[in-house]
Amino acid sequence: MSEDQIIKTRRRKMKGIILAGGTATRLFPMTATTSKQLLPVYDRQMIFYPLNTLIKAGIKNILVIVAPEHSGQFLNLLGSLLKKHDIHITFEVQSAPRGLAEALTLGENHIGDDNVALILGDNIFEDDFAKQIKEFRSGGHIFAKKVSDPQRFGVVKFNKENRAMEIVEKPQQWISDYAVTGLYLFDNECVELAKKIKPSERGEVEITDVNKAYLKKKQLEVTIFEGEWLDAGTPDSLLQASLIVKEKGISQNFHPILDQAITEFNEELKSLSKKKLK
């Protein structure tokens, strides 16, 4: 890499994308009238947890990808929530879910010449990954967690030196116990890589294939973490997530800016409700 290229890489900002589309059929009938990411996890809507992950890392420009039928609800909640705090949230409608990697092509204009932190709107992390996000410069960086049911996820296999060797999406045979979780850091090349991906057998553009592309180029870093990773995709896991969030105080560990914005939003709604009752 030339000196000019190194300088350009260092100057890249980190943009954020939250993928909050999809139909969430496993949560019917709760999601018949609203998005899964707008359901409460203990005392806050689910969307606030991934938003907190990005804000803690200092990310100021965040794109939220939503389903068309719920776009108005997201706009009402997040449209101006953080504007006074110099955090800008924009929205992109995903007409139909076609795979996680589509978030990168839908977010092409948002990413521009910068890097991106892509996080799934239904993933809740106990750990604070602000350091890894702030220090990211190039390539790809994923976060792995040891699980008891790896066949449900994309998994990463390590060699004896703890370096990633292979990534497999929902393996039918045991590959590894380490699941790839829903937070991905990519450099600017991710958009072009995503465009080249062919849909899988299930008809989706897999984020695993983007990770594999970086792995093939030996540009993929993996962080293994021990804290809670909650994927609230079923009624049982949604309930369990709320209990763990309450027990471990995860919702009480939000960035002060987001805490303040939520409080102000709640107070404004209460005030409006009182005026309507008069």
Cα 239 to Cα 39: distance, rounded to the nearest angstrom: 11
The pLDDT of residue 260: 95
Q: What DSSP letter does each residue of 57-69 carry, written as one string? A: TT--EEEEEE-GG
Q: What DSSP letter does each residue of 47-105 carry, written as one string? A: THHHHHHHHHTT--EEEEEE-GGGHHHHHHHHTTTTGGGT-EEEEEE-SS---TTHHHH
Domain boundaries, the chain: 3-137+181-195+212-277
The pLDDT of residue 166: 95
pLDDT in tens, 14-40: 999 999 988 778 889 899 899 999 999
- Domain spanning 3-137+181-195+212-277, CATH architecture: Alpha-Beta Complex (3.90)
The pLDDT of residue 132: 98
pLDDT below 70 — which residues of the chain? Answer: 1-11, 275-278
The pLDDT of residue 11: 67
The pLDDT of residue 7: 44
Judged by DSSP in three states, 197 sits in: coil
pLDDT in tens, 203-255: 889 999 999 999 999 999 999 999 999 988 889 999 999 999 999 999 999 99
